[in-house]
Structure 1
């Protein structure tokens, strides 16, 4: 007879027995050993019918094609920029993927992106040798001006964004901040004033630290209502 030994959203450790019997199936972060399903990582249980999945509490960012990321210019050559995206290898942004402008050979590339500039980009390719290419040639990808940068655990990004963007929308509407969440755990935000930027930052960090708490959406709404006095802001726009 099969037996489930854990509950949904329970924190488990590597080697912990999650279920006995053949009625349950292991997914990410879990394996079958004989009649038992065993956790292979520390994380939070996610149950979906008979499927048992472990969502890691912490993880390092590993680029996937199509990921939208936030990064900054670490170095540049005569034909490309090297972008720090929080991965073991810097991503490469070539001239053809940076702009539709014709750039003459030997031109000063700092007129487009200079050391320390932040940007929103998309992962265009990842090779077997872990080389990463990014692009800026799609809508919404751009250089970022001003604002502030927050770094969170990449494993928390889905919770910070929320289902269909619901959680981040709550923060935007309450603070009037423009917010871009990179899949690499780097977040850029810019608000109408310092106060609202600080409130948005605190709300995001609360989610980062308590992402698997029950009722987190309601807690976040209550926190924002208390800190803003219940005011709703239109999202701040660039001048």
Structure 2
């Protein structure tokens, strides 16, 4: 991250401490630490959920996180954990194995996900039954080490995750870079595919914490904002790497570093926060590399504290 001295590390920790003391919507009984007592209504009773334990009829938190209650069920959602998939999630992962009629994909979850041969569009968008020849040519679609975007299709009781890439907006990702952040920082939203028009950058914010950033490819006809309904065929095999200018790659690097800065400060990562971070850097006339230096991180932390204080004053 560009920090080589203990002083810089301590300075970053001080920025996090300042943010922790700032007004937050998670204050006032929403956040609990390990061993904290969770108040319950004795007359109504309660059901112990994940992240809690009971001693002598009293409920305590076993992890640090946010308290959640659904009817009588009380649980604590950890602030840091491996990715827990939900059906419909957009994810960014890396192919680790090609075997049988499936690809294994690393999503930084408890186990690798499975992408079945029947759950991908064949090159050219052909719709037919998969044959032995298709199975032999699976590496023409995806091979080990490929970075792909996909959607969680189904979940099994044993934790197995099944993916699908039948839409034209999914498939192999080339010409950009992957930034990995804690999955808990990603907000599930209606759209996870974004085109930052002002910067000329395409971005995929995966629910599993994988954020792919790359220069906008004008030759792509699929509009990821509307789900790719503008084209029928899916082009999963890209024979050549797209060529981009240094200026285009510099803009993509600026967006990628904005994601890294938000992760350093443990701030939510979504399209609006990323664009605000880029805008703050451009107002200070900073380059992409300068965004990872301590002065900008401190500036962003102070800006976030001011925003929270203003929101609290408006709420009052």
**TM-score normalized by structure 2?**
0.54
Superposition RMSD in Å: 4.1
Residue aligned with 1:14, SS: coil
Residue aligned with 2:253, SS: helix
Say which structure, 1 or 2, has more relative contact order (CA 8 Å, 6+ apart): 2
Counterparts of 1:35 and 1:27, CA distance in 2: 14
CA-to-partner distance for each residue in 1:45-68, whole Å, 9 max, x for gaps?
Answer: 689xxxx98553211112222222
CA, structure 1 residues 9+99, in 2 after alignment: closer, same or farther (shift >3 Å)? farther
Q: Residue in 2 aligned with 1:186?
A: 210
Q: Residue in 2 aligned with 1:225?
A: 279
8 Å Cα contact 1:8/1:46 also seen in 2: no
Shift in Å, 1:38: 4.0
Shift in Å, 1:15: 1.6
Shift in Å, 1:19: 4.7
Counterparts of 1:217 and 1:104, CA distance in 2: 41
Written as runs of structure 1 = structure 2, the 5 A alignment for 1:64-213 is: 64-100=86-122, 101=126, 102=128, 103-106=130-133, 107-158=136-187, 172-173=196-197, 175-191=199-215, 193-211=248-266
Q: Structure 2: any 5+ residue segments left out of the alignment? A: 1-25, 217-247, 286-316
Bigger Cα Rg:
2
8 Å Cα contact 1:8/1:45 also seen in 2: no
8 Å Cα contact 2:114/2:162 also seen in 1: yes
8 Å Cα contact 1:75/1:83 also seen in 2: yes
CA, structure 1 residues 172+142, in 2 after alignment: closer, same or farther (shift >3 Å)? same
Is residue 80 of structure 2 the alignment partner of residue 58 of structure 1?
yes
Q: Structure 1: any 5+ residue segments left out of the alignment? A: 1-5, 232-239
8 Å Cα contact 2:67/2:75 also seen in 1: yes
Counterparts of 2:85 and 2:177, CA distance in 1: 23
Q: Residue in 2 aligned with 1:7?
A: 27
